[in-house]
Amino acid sequence: MKYILGILFLILTTGAFAQEHEKPLVQFSGIVRNADSSRVIVPYVSIVNLSYHKQANISNYEGYFSFVVHEQDSIRFSCVGYAPVIVVIPANVTSKSYTLQVALKPQIFNLPAFRVFPWATTDEFRKDFLTMKIADDDLAIVIKNLNRTTRQAMQQGLPRDGSESIANDMHNSIVNSHSTVNPLINPFAWGALIQQITAGDKKRQITPDDAGYNF
């Protein structure tokens, strides 16, 4: 019986001691921003409570976070491309609410340069170098494009734009206007004109009967 009473007393004492020394809860809220620019927010930051079973949280796409912690808890903020930051919640928070702007500093790693050599041996490199086709320089490309055969092939293959079509139509109209045969130098036109004049003169002749004179 004495052992049972002792165990009960120990349990009650331990519970009362734990309740007496339990840290008060605090609503921890804030925004994570870039340390180099206060206008730049850092979204989706990993937030871990190192003092309470490594409880994990995450900020939203606007960098905002809000969760419950204990006083004097150590909170770690980490994100890819930024140096981690540890924030300690102060003690004796009167309003039971703690707000903070967490600034993360960008972390840049300069990696050493790495060059890829595509040939396994020097013999393969020598063989590919000797058989390599060197590209034409600018002067060779211009000469090739100004070649008559190349220009004719390009004219046949490339479609004309609006200005070229208008210029071609104007050229065709001018050529057609100058290619019209002048009727003054056409003998057939002269023969037809003489026939028309002769026919007109015959129609103008008036006989005595038609004039009303009887002889």
The Cα 104–Cα 128 span in angstroms is 51
Among 74, 72, 66, 73, which Cα is nearest to 97's?
66
Q: What is the pLDDT of residue 213?
A: 44
User: Could you give the 3-state DSSP secondary structure of residue 25?
Assistant: strand
What count of Cα atoms within 13 Å lies in the side-chain half-sphere of residue 204?
6
**pLDDT at position 202 over 60:** no
**pLDDT at position 103 over 50:** yes
Q: What is the pLDDT of residue 205?
A: 55
Pick 88 or 196 by higher pLDDT. Answer: 88
Among 30, 31, 58, which Cα is nearest to 44's?
58
Q: In which residue are the tokens 């796409």 written?
A: 61
Average pLDDT over residues 46-67: 94
Pick 62 or 209 by higher pLDDT. Answer: 62
- Category of 48 on φ-ψ map: left (φ > 0), alpha (ψ -120 to 50) or beta: beta
In this structure, of 85-94, 131-140, 144-153, 172-181, the range with the lowest mean pLDDT score is 172-181
In this structure, of 4-8, 120-124, 146-150, 160-164, the range with the lowest mean pLDDT score is 4-8
In this structure, of 89-93, 152-156, 185-189, the range with the lowest mean pLDDT score is 185-189
Q: pLDDT per residue over 13-33, tens digit each?
A: 555 444 435 788 999 999 999
Q: What is the pLDDT of residue 38?
A: 78
Is 215 exposed, middle or buried, given 0-12, 13-18 or 19+ CB atoms closer than 10 A?
A: exposed
The Cα 10–Cα 5 span in angstroms is 9
**pLDDT at position 181 over 70:** no
Residue 107 CB partners (closer than 8 Å, separation 6+): 81, 82, 83
Residue spans of the domains in the chain: they are 23-104
**pLDDT at position 162 over 80:** no
Architecture category of domain 23-104 in CATH: Sandwich (2.60)
